[in-house]
Amino acid sequence: MKESHSSQYQYVGFRINKNFYNRNGVLVVPKLSVLTRRDIQYLLHQGIAIKEDDVEQASILHLVNSAINEIKVAFDKVRYLKHIPLNYVHEKIIPVVTVMSEHPDLHHIFTHLKQHDEYTYRHSIGVAIISQLIGRARGIRAQELLELTIAGFLHDIGKVKIPDEIINKPEKLTPDEFHQINQHTVYGFEIMRRTAGITCRQALVALQHHEREDGSGYPYGVNGTIILSFISSSFFRMSAQVSNALSILSSLVGFNDISPINALKWSFNFTKLPPVSLLALTRFRIIYYF
């Protein structure tokens, strides 16, 4: 039985082609869902086994669109509830981030993310994926990795309080609009501090991710001696400082047939640099890529 249960997890990341109902006729996992470990655990608990012909390989485009849709729901909940639906993030967002971060065609996932219209949503999922990859490459404990991934995902959550016409404005912002955009860090901190289950240092990620080593950042212009240390002294200034790791990942994964996580581990070992310094060697900042 254990071997049978273990084999079920090979379907993580696959899309199911039918509805799954429990013995009482209640729908437990709907058709076209991309399976996560949590879904499979729940199905096993219900006594439901997945067969090979119940699933199909999910396309990368479907995976990206599913992730964006889940993020929209999460952000909308924050907008109306005024706090973060942490259970929803655990159940719907983090499993998708994990599936995407373990996908063999990760560079194609980022390419599709880059092409998506909704900047805040694609940026949030991109930061969460890279946060998880870096955390795993650094070998941090599972609980801290979860905390890190959630912090990466929520770092821009304060933008739910900024009008869409400002967030999506193609022209140069006025000084007043720029000030409003800058306030998203404070708004995010306040929202996260009101949410049970969010730690102080996760909230500080939202507050400090636009601060700079020389004190030229916002919202408070604090310098590098004050900015939060999570993995490295500057990791969470990723919105404008962490560079595009995909030039490393794509080349190493594409040409050497190794996984993204091993690519990052190889890069860290080869360069002997901390994560943020390694990523700074690449060409584009993450804020421009996503």
> CA-based diameter of the chain, in Å?
64
In the structure encoding, which two tokens stand for residue 233, read together? 């002294």
Q: List C-alpha distances in Å: 56 to 28, 35, 208.
A: 18, 10, 42
Q: Which of 50, 152, 134 is nearest to 93 (CA)?
A: 152
CA 146 to chain centre: 11
Q: What's the average model confidence in pLDDT over 196-222?
A: 85
The two three-digit tokens of residue 240, written as one number: 């404008």
Which residue would you say has higher pLDDT here, 271 or 85?
A: 85
- Taking the alpha carbons at both ends of the chain, their separation in whole angstroms is 43
In contact, 11 and 33? CB cutoff 8 Å: no
Position with higher pLDDT, 264 vs 156: 156
CA gap 218, 212 in Å, rounded: 8
Q: Which two tokens stand for residue 33?
A: 């869902």
If you count them, how many residues does the chain have?
A: 290
Residue type, 186: V
Confidence at residue 37, expressed as pLDDT on a 0 to 100 scale: 80
Non-local (6+) Cβ contacts of 264 within 8 A are 133, 134, 136, 137, 245, 248, 249
Q: Is 44 left (phi over 0), alpha (psi -120 to 50) or beta?
A: alpha
Across all residues in the chain, what is the average pLDDT? 76
pLDDT at 18 over 60: yes
Buried/exposed 174-206: b ≥16 CB within 10 Å, e otherwise: eeebeebbebbbbbbbebbbebeebeeebbbbb
Per-residue confidence (pLDDT) for residue 188, from 0 to 100: 94
Q: What is the pLDDT of residue 228?
A: 55
Q: How far is CA 138 from CA 148, 232, 248, 268, in A?
A: 12, 11, 16, 9
The tokens describing 161, both together, are 């309080």
d(CA 188, CA 218): 13
Domains of the chain by start residue, with CATH: 2-57 (3.90.105), 60-289 (1.10.3210.10)
Question: Tokens 């590098």 label which residue?
Answer: 224
The partner residues of 111 in beta bridges, in order of sequence, read none
How does pLDDT run across 119-159, given as a tens digit for each residue?
888 888 888 888 888 888 778 888 888 988 999 899 999 99
pLDDT at 238: 40
What three-state secondary structure class fits 66?
helix
- Distance between CA atoms of residues 168 and 187, nearest Å: 18
- CA 233, distance to chain mean position in Å, is 20
Angle at CA of residue 250, ends 275 and 266, nearest 5°: 45
DSSP-assigned letter for residue 284: S
Convert the pLDDT of each residue in 35-91 to its tens digit: 888 888 889 999 999 998 898 877 787 888 888 888 999 999 999 888 899 999 998
Cα 34 to chain centroid, rounded: 16
Tell me, what's the pLDDT at 193? 93
Answer positive or negative: Cα dihedral of 138, 144, 146, 150: negative
Please write the tens of the pLDDT for every residue from 216-247.
888 888 776 665 544 333 344 443 333 344 44
Q: How far is CA 242 from its chain centroid?
A: 14
